[in-house]
Amino acid sequence: MWLRELAELAHGVAHLLYPPACLICDSSETEPLRHGLCSNCLRSITADAAEVCPWCASTVGPHTDVTRGCVVCLPHSFGFDGAYRLGPYEGRLREAILRIKNAAGEPLAEMLGRVVVDQMATELKAAGVDLVVPVPLHWRRRWSRGYNQAAAIGREVAAGLGIDFRPGWLRRIRGVMQYAQPSASARRENIRGAFRVSHRASFASRVVLLVDDVMTTGSTLSEAARVLRVAGAAKVIAAVLARA
């Protein structure tokens, strides 16, 4: 008994001397952090009050008719069947995403995956998703970064939803050219043929949740989704932290 009390006392002293810091802003709070985030950062990254297109997750104006899409996605034929986001690529959410672009950001990426579950679970379950696949990095990019942030996010999303997680079922077989300010058409052409399904994969009749950190033009997610549909997926839903 006394050992447990001593351990609790030591934990309390350590908390006072070294209070936990928010994974985004590094600030310390006296109140407990939720998902490793302070209340201000958590509120900031989940307070998306904008109207959003359900097909491509772009911000749209109030009362916009998005029955068949918005001005962003109507001219294109995306490979996915719908998209969800935490918010726009700005503010604290942008800062968080920049932080997960290196190996030290993996704990934050995992926590953001839990935030995604908190915010999107009802919609994702209603969509019938039964498998999570992260957008893969080319092995050179993964080696230089130390991990795949989309996989860290997706792992937590799958665990929170209680569904399968298969990070190895979709592979990136080649890198892409890096452009300073790529046009949407250039990105679509650049990413074509970059993905391949593993011979071990079984997507037949599955409703796949395709996870990434940011959607910019939608080209990468669209090409990945197209490959999954060719492999037999019944439906592919995209989920991202932010929409640029």
Q: What is the rounded distance in angstroms from the CA atom of residue 203 to the CA atom of residue 233?
A: 5
State the pLDDT confidence band at 221, using cuts at 50, 70 and 90. Answer: very high
The rounded distance, in Å, linking the Cα atoms of 100 and 145 is 10
Q: Choose the weakest-confidence range: 121-125, 170-174, 206-210.
A: 170-174
Q: Which CATH class is domain 50-243?
A: alpha beta
- In the predicted model, what is the mean pLDDT of residues 135-162? 96
Indicate the range of 83-92, 155-164, 178-187, 195-204 predicted with least confidence: 178-187
Q: What is the mean pLDDT of residues 129-155?
A: 96
| Dist CA 186 CA 141 (whole Å) | 20
Query: Distance (Å, rounded) from C-alpha 156 to C-alpha 153?
Result: 6
Nearest to 228 by CA among 238, 216, 241: 238
CB 161 within 8 A of CB 113: no
pLDDT of residue 77: 87
Is residue 127 within 8 Å of residue 121, measured between CB atoms?
Answer: no
CB-based contact 158:193 (threshold 8 Å): no
How does pLDDT run across 50-94, given as a tens digit for each residue?
Answer: 999 999 999 999 999 999 999 999 998 899 999 999 999 999 999
Length of the chain (residues): 244
| 3-state SS record for the chain | CHHHHHHHHHHHHHHHHCCCECCCCCCECCCCCECCECHHHHHHHHCCCCEECCCCCCEECCCCCCCCCCCCCCCCCCCCCCEEEEEECCHHHHHHHHHCCCHHHHHHHHHHHHHHHHHHHHHHHHCCCCEEEECCCCHHHHHHHCCCHHHHHHHHHHHHHCCEECCCCEEECCCCCCCCCCCHHHHHHHHCCCEEECCCCCCCCCEEEEEEEEECCCHHHHHHHHHHHHCCCCEEEEEEEEEC
Looking at residue 188, its pLDDT comes to 79
Does residue 20 carry a pLDDT above 50? yes
Q: Which residues contact 181 (CB under 8 A, 6 or more apart)?
A: none
3-state secondary structure of 240: strand
Taking the whole predicted model, whether its pTM rises above 0.85 is answered as yes
Residue 73's closest CA among 214, 185, 218?
Answer: 218
Closest CA relative to residue 211, chosen from 161, 163, 167? 167
What is the pLDDT confidence band of residue 177, given thresholds at 50, 70 and 90? low
Closest of 231, 219, 224, 222 to residue 82, by C-alpha: 222
